[in-house]
Structure 1
Amino acid sequence: MSDLQELYQSIILDHNRRPKNYGALDDATVRRQDRNPACGDEILLEIKVDHDVITDVKFTSEGCAVSRASASIMTQAIKGKSRDEVEQLFRQFHELVTGKVKPTPQEARDYGEMAAFSGVSRFPIRVKCASMAWHSLQAALRESAPV
């Protein structure tokens, strides 16, 4: 295993053991619960949106390390971002986990901790685990989109 792969593995394990933004968000303006029928992973996203900006987000989940770590990293990445910025992050993450983009170590810096999921494309069943929180987020924001 390369040093970079070891780093990515340690990031995923750390976010699984000590997930960021884990718990309930009492003043959430958007809630979304989803389940991955393939593996049983579950997530509840609670998001506070103010003037089209995500001001806070929390989640609770049951499932694998990849799923929980992805949700943890996602919540850190989206705080303070507009819906449009979040949509761009979703596209970047989706391209990363599906293998449509393979960043060099230098380019991986632009992805931050999301880069830890760059090897997931080699394990198709894990792509769903890694992207479940992101798909839940996208659906939640679309369902609550201002008219």
Structure 2
Amino acid sequence: METTASASRHISTPIDRPVKDVYDYASDPANLPEWAQGLGKSINRIDGQWIAESSPMGRVVVAFAQGNEFGVLDHDVTLPSGEVVYNPMRVIADGTGCEVVFTLRRLAWMDDEHFQRDADAVLADLTALKNVMERSDRPG
């Protein structure tokens, strides 16, 4: 299957929290079910890998970039087929808050409808991240 991206769409949301708070939270795969339901409703560390068992795509492996000071949250998602989908993501400082930017890459096999569904799912996940991070009961 061809996996070269033929187009990209940058999807972002501002978050009224310091960049470090958002990065620290979002970079921990254990927190994914709270804000990234597009990957699944549960995730477990099994044999050194983060496995989302209840993903709409089936069982997937999620691997984030190594922790860094640049806000890079790039991650690979290995699908049940073995296909690896690279997902560029950043947390960017914006005054006292930040912006989270996800680059959705359109794969060669995607039609317009599938690409739009993926974009809608990414926006829903980023909105959920914003809501979690801006809750008044969060420390910080």
TM over 0.5: no
Q: TM-score, normalised by structure 1?
A: 0.34
Normalised by the length of structure 2, the TM-score is 0.35
Q: Which structure has more helix as a fraction of its residues?
A: 1
Indicate the structure with greater strand content: 2
**Bigger relative CO (Cα 8 Å, ≥ 6 apart):** 2
